[in-house]
Structures are given as structure tokens and as C-alpha cells.
Amino acid sequence: MHEKIDGTVIAITGASSGIGAATAYHLASRGARLVLGARRQDRLDEVVAAIEAEGGEAVGVVVDVTRRDDLARLVDTAVTTYGRLDVLVSNAGTMAVSPFDALDQDGWDSMVATHITGFLNGIAAALPVFRRQESGQFVTVGSTAAYRIMSPQGVYAATKTAVTVLSEALRQESGPDLRVTLVSPGFTHTEGVGKGTTGAILESMTAQRDAIAMPPSAIATAIGFAIEQPDGVDINEVVVRPTVQG
């Protein structure tokens, strides 16, 4: 099983912290060659340096997934640096949740742009490469919010539901050469929980996170499991929750 990840070229968005960084460390420890994207160069540099210090291979690319050109640059970096792209992990996300009465239209827009447009930009950038190679895998990070909507997560849940639908639609059109995987985490202990929120919502989300969340390594392992499957085997969906999450 280990050989399947060894040498694989994997691009990850949102790799500067949380689930994306944990996935980068996990896959690097298994021998993957990584292209890591996010907006914060300093945090990205830290992840790349930590991987290289362990003898792994990674390059960082500053990208905003809401921009088409940035996703194209991420994929181009994989192809020019390593000669191919085997897997695109679309993980970048923002949990700027709020009740509708707060009218946080900037937060709503950022979730729509990051999750839906960001995923579509990744498809547009990687699909032609995967078709040319006659192989490739889309791994996309959804959320259990798509399955159990909890106030005040309406807009967040809607965007993750869209991601779930898009991943399944992409799978249906992917044909025999490509693999399409959705990994939907439950509560995961990252800095992203509550980021972009304030006051009582921030307090409640961080308190709940600290009480019940699972480590991001749980999601990294699930992503690795989907990637390490033999050719011809496609893990389409993995849902991972802390046992205590209702």
C-alpha cells in the first residue's frame, strides 16, 4: 500500500494550516511530492520547511483559490516541477458562519467563492492535465454540515452541499481513467473553527471544538487512504466524525 503514495505528485489547496497542513505532513511522510497552495506565504513556508527538514519534497505557491489564474499556476507548478499531477486536493475553506440577521454578506460571499468557485477553478485547471495523462484524482474536502444543518451554519452548509453535488457529478463524468473522492469531516481541531466569527458564536464554536473535535490527522489519514487505493479502485466518499458528534 505504501508504494502507491510514494512518488505521487499531489497539489493541496489550503495547505498553510489545519487539515491541509496535516495532510501535507502525512503524505510527505509517505513519500509524496507536494505542491502546496494558500494565501499566507509565511505559514506556507513553515510547512514546506518542516517537510524538507524531514527529507520530504514540497514547493509552496501563493494562491487564492477564488482566482482562476492562481489555480492554473498551482497545477502548472506541479507539471513543470515534477512532470505531472496525480492528485488535486481541494481543501481551502472558510467557516465564517453567522445567523442570517447578521447580514454578513462578505462572509457569505467568501464561503461561496472559496468552496464553490474555488473547487470549480481546481477542476478547470487540473482536468485537462488528468485527461492528457489518462489518470488523476480529485480529492475534495466537504463537511458533515452538508448532512446535518445546524444554525447558524446555513450558508456554510449550502456551499458544502454544493461541493458534495459537484463532486458526485464530476465522478459521473470522469470516465474510467480518473478518480473522484469527497472527504467530509466533522468537527476537527483547527484554527479555522470560528475564524471570521465574533462574540458568542466564536466562543461557542471554539468551546465545542476544544470539547469534542478530532485532530486534523484523522482527515489526513482518510485522504491518504483514498489516494493509496490500487488503480481501478475509487473511494468516492469518506465521512469522518468524532464519535461524540451528534
Ligand X SMILES: NC(=O)c1ccc[n+]([C@@H]2O[C@H](COP(=O)([O-])OP(=O)(O)OC[C@H]3O[C@@H](n4cnc5c(N)ncnc54)[C@H](OP(=O)(O)O)[C@@H]3O)[C@@H](O)[C@H]2O)c1
> Has 156 been annotated as catalytic?
yes
Nearest to 26 by CA among 44, 2, 46: 2
Rounded CA-CA distance 98/109 in Å is 12
Quote the least distance from Cβ 2 to ligand X, whole Å.
25
Which of 58-63's residues contact partners 24+ apart within 8 Å by CB, and which partners? 58/24, 58/28, 58/33, 58/34, 59/34, 59/35, 60/15, 60/36, 61/35, 61/36, 61/37, 62/37, 62/38, 63/13, 63/37, 63/38, 63/39
Judged by beta carbon, residue 16 or residue 167, the one nearer ligand X is 16
Judged by beta carbon, residue 167 or residue 190, the one nearer ligand X is 190
Angle 61-63-68 (CA atoms, 0-180°, nearest 5)?
Answer: 125
List interacting residues with ligand X (CB under 6 A).
13-20, 38-40, 43, 63-66, 91-95, 114, 141, 143, 185, 187-188, 190-193, 195
Judged by beta carbon, residue 4 or residue 240, the one nearer ligand X is 240
Catalytic choice (25, 82, 147, 156): 156
Chain centroid to Cα 180, Å, comes to 13
Judged by beta carbon, residue 111 or residue 176, the one nearer ligand X is 111
CB 183 within 8 A of CB 142: yes
Quote the least distance from Cβ 140 to ligand X, whole Å.
9
Rounded CA-CA distance 179/167 in Å is 10
Quote the least distance from Cβ 164 to ligand X, whole Å.
12
Quote the least distance from Cβ 132 to ligand X, whole Å.
25
Catalytic site positions: 156
